[in-house]
Amino acid sequence: MAESHIVSGLTKKRAELLGQIEAHQKEIQRISEMLLHVDHTIKLFSPEFDLRSVKSKRTNQRNPYFGRGELQSLVLTCLREAKEPMNYKDLMMKVLDIKGIDSSVGNDISPSFIKVLNRLRDKGIIIAHSNHRPHLWGIAD
């Protein structure tokens, strides 16, 4: 019976996830109904229009911790001030420290951080000094 607190915690988490699924399904239903109304309105004005020709538009979810271009600017500032190349984790912690954000959000910004590093590397602004992971990042010469 030592695991009862584990089972209790997992059942609580399961209930939370089920609630999120139900909320998202309701949102999907609501958006689907709106789409149907738009489709009918398009057909009202142009009956011959092929709705399959309209492709879905990708939605971007903004990072709530940084403004537009701010993360890239902070990464470049840190790399310029560094005396030697920095690994990903140290660089991310330095950026969070400068911004005054708790390091516990590191997992939340990690995808954005990786995209910024790869974008800067692809542009030739920064380079990865090591061939194996974790890379050591630095400003390109």
Task: Please tell me the distance from the alpha carbon of residue 11 to that of residue 80, in angstroms, as a whole number.
Answer: 48
Tens digits of residue pLDDT in 54-72: 999 988 777 788 888 999 9
Decide if 43 is inside a domain: yes
User: Does 78 share its domain with 24?
Assistant: no
Task: Please tell me the distance from the alpha carbon of residue 110 to that of residue 101, in angstroms, as a whole number.
Answer: 13
Q: What are phi and psi of 133, to 5 degrees?
A: -90, 145
Q: Look at the pTM and tell me if it is higher than 0.95.
A: no
User: Does 74 share its domain with 48?
Assistant: no
End-to-end Cα separation, the chain, in angstroms: 62
Q: What is the DSSP string of 98-124?
A: HHT--GGGHHHHHHHHHHHHHHHHHTT
SS3 content of the chain, % helix, strand, coil (to 5): 65, 5, 30
CATH code for the domain in which residue 134 is found? 1.10.10.10
Tens digits of residue pLDDT in 1-58: 568 889 999 999 999 999 999 999 999 999 999 999 999 999 999 999 999 999 999 8
Q: Are 135 and 88 in contact (CB under 8 A)?
A: yes
